[in-house]
Amino acid sequence: MKFAVLSFPGSNCEKDSFYALKDVIAEEVSLVSYQAESLAGFDAVVVPGGFSYGDYLRSGALARFAPIIPALKEFAAAGKPVLGICNGFQILTEAGLLPGTLQKNIGGKFVCRQQKLVVKNAASPFSTRYQAGQVITLPIAHGDGNYYADEKTLQELEENGQIIFKYQDNPNGSLKNIAGITNKTGNVLGMMPHPERAVEEILGSADGVQLFQSLIAHFEVAAHE
C-alpha cells in the first residue's frame, strides 16, 4: 500500500506520519508538497497536523486553497482513503470533505497530553482492528479542537455511524465528545488525536498502530474484490 503524506507551509507533523508509516507500519510512503497537482499512484493520503499557513484567519482556512486540494477532493471522491490528523482534520472540514468545523478550545488554552478515547464505531475502514467500546490512549496537541456542527448534522453523524472516536474525558468542549468522524461513505476520517505519535510503547502508547493496520487490511480486502 502506498501512502502520500501531504506537507503544507507550517506543517510540523508530516515526518511523524512519514516515519510511523515507513519504519513501524512498514509501508511505502512519500512526502507530497502542497504545490503538487496530482495524487496518481497513491492508495491512501494522510493530511498531517501542524499549523498550515500559520493558522492565519483560522486553522486550515488557507490550506484549502493549496494546489493539491483539487487532487485531494478527486482522490476522496473516488472512494480512496484519506486520513486528516489534527490540523489535517481542520483542513478537511474547511475543504468541505467533512461536515462541521473546529473551534477554539473551551477555556481558550492549548492542550497537550495523553488522552483516552472510546471507539464508537469499529466497523469503519479505519477501526476494524479495535473493538466497539474499547478505550484507547492517543496524544492530543491542539488549540482549536472543539468540534461544532448544527443539531441536524450531529444527528446524522450519530445515525450514520460516522462518529468513530469520542473523548472519554472531553478536553476541548467538542459537541457529543467527538474526537474523530468520517464522511458518509466512510473513506475520509478526520481526528484531532495523533495516532502517528502512538505507534510504540516508548512513546506512551502503541494504540495508534491498529488504526493504520485497519486501513491496510481494508485496502487488501478491497484490492481482491
The single residue of 13, 86, 94, 142 carrying the catalytic annotation is 86
What is the Cα–Cα distance from 138 to 146, expressed in whole angstroms?
17
What is the Cα–Cα distance from 88 to 202, expressed in whole angstroms?
25
Residue 112 designated active-site:
no
Residue 194 designated active-site:
yes
**188-191 β-sheet, strand order:** 28-33, 2-7, 44-47, 82-85, 188-191, 178-182, 163-167, 111-119, 135-142
The single residue of 14, 94, 142, 196 carrying the catalytic annotation is 196
What is the Cα–Cα distance from 66 to 130, expressed in whole angstroms?
34
**Matching residue, cell 478491497:** 222
Residue 196 designated active-site:
yes
The single residue of 13, 14, 142, 194 carrying the catalytic annotation is 194
Name the residues annotated as catalytic.
Answer: 86, 194, 196
